[in-house]
Structure 1
Amino acid sequence: MDIIVHLGKRVRALRLAAGLSQEELAFRAGMKRSYVSDLERGTRNPTVRALGRLASALGVRASALLDD
């Protein structure tokens, strides 16, 4: 599986497990909801900074975004 698609699925799974909407996750991470949506669909290549902000907003380590 493509790493970007895998990342998107992990972000979505972690977001849903945390009970967050895309809008709430985006707000907590300081990004636009459309960016989160693009990431979850695997159509956006995130920056390292974005990964760190998402991980922080989700309350996980950045490495958890790539775990199985």
Structure 2
Amino acid sequence: MDIVKVFGNNVKKYRNLLGISQEEFAYKCGLHRTYISAIECHRRSISLENIQRIADALNIETYKLFIESKEEEL
């Protein structure tokens, strides 16, 4: 399992479920849009503090960002 990929894919999935842009989501997290883009494109490892910010902005439990979906395993 590539944790950076799983995390990035989950951030994008949950952000899209909220129907908000990267820019709007970044603002909600207190982070920069390019930082969110780098996470979603699997180019960035992030701190625990920022993981919590992201989970809070998505209004989900933090652990859900680390669950690998079945589609990713294929």
Q: TM-score, normalised by structure 1?
A: 0.95
Distance 1:42 1:62 in 2: 18
**Where does 1:9-24 land on structure 2 (aligned, <5 Å)?**
9-24=9-24
Distance 1:27 1:65 in 2: 19
Q: Does 1:36 align with 2:40?
A: no
Structure 1, unpaired ranges of 5+:
none
Larger Rg: 2
**Where does 1:1-68 land on structure 2 (aligned, <5 Å)?**
1-67=1-67, 68=69
Deviations 1:12-48 (CA, angstroms, capped at 9, x unpaired)? 0000011111001100000000000000011100100
Moved over 4 A (4+): none
Cα RMSD, aligned residues only? 0.8
Counterpart of 2:55, as a letter, is: A
Counterpart of 2:9, as a letter, is: K
The number of residue pairs the alignment matches comes to: 68
Q: TM-score, normalised by structure 2?
A: 0.87
